[in-house]
Structure 1
Amino acid sequence: MSIQFSSLEVVGCPVVFDDAQLFRSQLEAMKQIEEIYIWDCKSVTSFPFSILPTTLKRIAISGCPKLKLEAPVGEMFVEYLSVKDCGCVDDISPEFLPTARELSIMDCQNVTRFLVPTATETLHISNCENVEKLSVACGGAAQMTLLDIYGCKKLKCLPELLPSLKELHLSDCPEIEGELPFNLQKLRIIHCKKLVNGRKEWHLQRLTELWISHDGSDEDIEHWEFPCSITRLEVSNLKTLSSQHLKSLTSLQYLCIEGNLSQIQSQGQISSFSHLTSLQTLIISNLCNLQSLSESALPSSLSHLDIKDCPNLQSLPVKGMPSSLSALWISKCPLLRPLLEFDKGEYWPQIAHIPTINIDWQYI
């Protein structure tokens, strides 16, 4: 009678791989096995793909520093592969698990190139600091919809053939630059200095969500024109970003601005957002020099206003608060707190009608 286990987990035990016959017998007892997890097998040098069952769908390998990956013999139908902290892994190619729909490669410092298999839909590459080239196989990458790259310090550009890519996350990739896949709908750029500073135009007319976190080193983005299709925008430390860049965003519903945004402020007062007639949520964070918001700052469509970490902010446009506002959140703005005090603050009569008010994480 076979044992109906769906997963096998091997932790710190290389014996099961050293004895192929033992491993085979264990697998044969698990007729419906779908998942294999291998953790911290320090002396394992190879993985016996040739004896894996065709029912297997997921493989996760972590902390096997001597392991080398070799293309399996025969047909396999693995859909998910995760490789983490395997120092001897130096190449990922389409011949290795070509049916994998999701690939995750993390903390593999010897990987220098990555050839994306045709079937891959989701690809995560994290802290592989020596990856220099990411490319697609002939006819490949047609299925990829999500690409997430973090901490690849030497990667300079993305593949050209990514027509199906809808979501792209790039973080801590200081050398990457050049054009972006034109069909993107969601884009996250965190600390990618050359990509931001060298950007002239976006050419992303399907983009709906954009998040840029920078280091304040931008010098000239005056010719930027954000795609008017954007509904959600988050920007941090873009010192030359001005309200002029936001004028085309007629569909914008969510805006978060944070950090060193000197062009958004003028003499301590924030620029008006009243032209953003679709805006529903506005978050203002960590603007140390901000002192006030003008009476015309807020659009009539706004329903949620969140202001935090603005230590010099001393006035709100309470007479200009839109009637649509249903939630007001204020935190770490010490000069405002006494003005908003329940039943006593100067601003209380003008804000008391707002259904949800939260001051320094306390509802009032």
Structure 2
Amino acid sequence: MPPQMCNLTNLQTLSDFVLSKNSGSRIKELGALKLLRGSLRISGLENVVDVGDVLEADLKKKECLTELILKWNGGEVDEASKEKELLNALEPHRKLKKLRIEGYRGTIFPDWVANQSFGDMVEVHLEDCRNCCLLPPFKQLPSLRKLDISGMYVSGIENECSGAALTKPFPSLEGLSMNFMYALERWPTGANQEGRFYPCLKHISLCKCDKLNVGLPAGCLPSLETIEIWNCKEMVGVCPASQEIDIAYPSLESIVLNNCEKVESFSEMGWPSPNLKHLKIWYCEKLIANRKNWNLQRLSSLQSLWLSGCEELVVISFPEEGLLPSTLTSITISRCGNLKALNGEGFHHLTSLQHLDIRFCEKVEGLPEEGLPLSLSTLSIEGCPLLSERCQRETGEDWPKIQHIPKIEIDGRKI
């Protein structure tokens, strides 16, 4: 940073205040910048030696700051209690709306983090706080809408969620994301009837939660709209078994599953929502192998289906007759290495289908004898050499079956 930043007493915007090695004491210069507003990042906090310098920064009095980002850039810590003292001294004004803590090296968070007096707080991000084994009680933040936790080694979050003191924990939370939580094994235990937890939760995203065996917490999530689950190796199901599945997720519209190798079914009780509109499955071979038991016909609102990454499965013909609901408007089939044919009997009733995308299915030999639905407006073929040759304009053997389609694209080229 330039020298004597403390002389810029009228400064209002400072995107990043960087503390380099041997200059951690400069954090106290922030004390003179009383007019700072908007977002402030303080980087290099591992270089701070004296907590007294942090207190002089006087973040508590900067009431025009709406976002605070506190960043440690690694390094070993000699005493965890000093790290907690440092973070405690960085307490901001209670009007703060967004908080991000990255690389914090302590084992426990100070009390101000998630204190319910932060009534305006709408977003919290914790990233790579690897020494912490407990989460702050975010459930008591009345306005919190987005919670993003990444790279922490907590095994469960029931201490965070099950407190009986609050009648409605997480009263405003809309988005919950947990990524690279390698030790996370369980969702909170206890009742969640009638949406007592997460009454406003719309989106759940999980990635690399290697020990978590079920994607959703038990109970009713009345506002949940989308689920995204990526690379969860031990997960065996998306929904918990012991609940009334038809009423638990009345608003659910979209499910994305990617690389969850042990998942065989969405739920033992059936589909989590009859209102599902979008289903995207990548590299979940056991689940795709079980597709005949999905009962997709129940999903009278399903519009788009994406199946990808069944390289090892022997899927000779797709889709099987009666497998898909007639409401589908878009289908993508990708990276199914053993797929040889598209089943005309499986397509003939798809009278609403508008978009068909076939990608990297090298063994597909051609289109069904019956042709494709007349409703198709877009056909895209990529990485399917045998099929591509048969669909060339005028010269391809399958051209008469697709010439009615307004937009055809083969290997990135419109024909």
Tell me if TM exceeds 0.5.
Answer: yes
SS in 2 for 1:319: helix
Change in CA separation of 1:330 and 1:13 when aligned onto 2, cut-off 3 Å: same
Match of 1:229 in 2: 301
AA in 1 matched with 2:151: D
Assess if the C-alpha contact under 8 Å between 1:17 and 1:48 holds in 2.
no
Match of 1:340 in 2: none
Tell me by how many angstroms 1:237 deviates: 3.3
Tell me by how many angstroms 1:51 deviates: 4.1
Change in CA separation of 1:52 and 1:4 when aligned onto 2, cut-off 3 Å: closer
TM-score, normalised relative to structure 1: 0.80
Change in CA separation of 1:297 and 1:65 when aligned onto 2, cut-off 3 Å: farther
Calculate the aligned-residue CA RMSD, in Å: 2.8
The CA distance in 2 between the partners of 1:68 and 1:191, in whole Å, is 33
**1:77-226 correspondence to structure 2 within 5 Å:** 77=119, 78-95=121-138, 98-99=141-142, 100-108=144-152, 110-114=153-157, 115-116=160-161, 117-119=169-171, 120-135=173-188, 139-157=196-214, 158-161=216-219, 162-178=221-237, 180=239, 182-183=249-250, 184-196=252-264, 201-217=270-286, 219-226=289-296
The CA distance in 2 between the partners of 1:142 and 1:245, in whole Å, is 40
CA offsets per residue over residues 22-67 of structure 1, 9 Å max, x none? 132x442x33111001122545722228942121000111122336
The CA distance in 1 between the partners of 2:189 and 2:145, in whole Å, is 14
The CA distance in 2 between the partners of 1:63 and 1:51, in whole Å, is 17
Match of 1:307 in 2: 381
SS in 1 for 2:188: strand
Change in CA separation of 1:198 and 1:229 when aligned onto 2, cut-off 3 Å: closer
SS in 2 for 1:305: strand
The CA distance in 2 between the partners of 1:198 and 1:231, in whole Å, is 18
Counterpart of 2:56 (choices 5, 10, 22) is: 22
Change in CA separation of 1:50 and 1:303 when aligned onto 2, cut-off 3 Å: same
Greater strand fraction, Structure 1 or Structure 2: 1
Assess if the C-alpha contact under 8 Å between 1:302 and 1:322 holds in 2.
no
Assess if the C-alpha contact under 8 Å between 1:236 and 1:261 holds in 2.
no
Please tell me whether residue 3 in structure 1 is matched to residue 35 in structure 2.
yes
Tell me by how many angstroms 1:206 deviates: 0.9
AA in 2 matched with 1:149: L
Please tell me whether residue 260 in structure 1 is matched to residue 336 in structure 2.
yes
AA in 2 matched with 1:320: K
The CA distance in 2 between the partners of 1:198 and 1:237, in whole Å, is 18
SS in 1 for 2:262: helix
The CA distance in 2 between the partners of 1:129 and 1:86, in whole Å, is 13
The CA distance in 1 between the partners of 2:374 and 2:50, in whole Å, is 66
Match of 1:271 in 2: 343
TM-score, normalised relative to structure 2: 0.71
CA offsets per residue over residues 300-330 of structure 1, 9 Å max, x none? 111111111113323133112263x232111
SS in 1 for 2:110: coil
Assess if the C-alpha contact under 8 Å between 1:295 and 1:319 holds in 2.
no
Assess if the C-alpha contact under 8 Å between 1:247 and 1:276 holds in 2.
no
Assess if the C-alpha contact under 8 Å between 1:45 and 1:68 holds in 2.
no
The size of the alignment, in residue pairs, is 327
AA in 1 matched with 2:55: Q
CA offsets per residue over residues 217-256 of structure 1, 9 Å max, x none? 4544422211231101101134458423664411111110
Match of 2:101 in 1: 61
Please tell me whether residue 290 in structure 1 is matched to residue 364 in structure 2.
yes
Assess if the C-alpha contact under 8 Å between 1:270 and 1:297 holds in 2.
no
Greater helix fraction, Structure 1 or Structure 2: 2
**Runs of 5+ in structure 2 lacking a partner?**
1-9, 11-33, 162-168, 240-247, 392-397
AA in 1 matched with 2:279: L
Change in CA separation of 1:199 and 1:245 when aligned onto 2, cut-off 3 Å: farther
Match of 1:76 in 2: 118
Q: Percent identical across equivalent pairs?
A: 21
The CA distance in 2 between the partners of 1:292 and 1:90, in whole Å, is 55
SS in 2 for 1:48: helix
The CA distance in 1 between the partners of 2:318 and 2:136, in whole Å, is 44
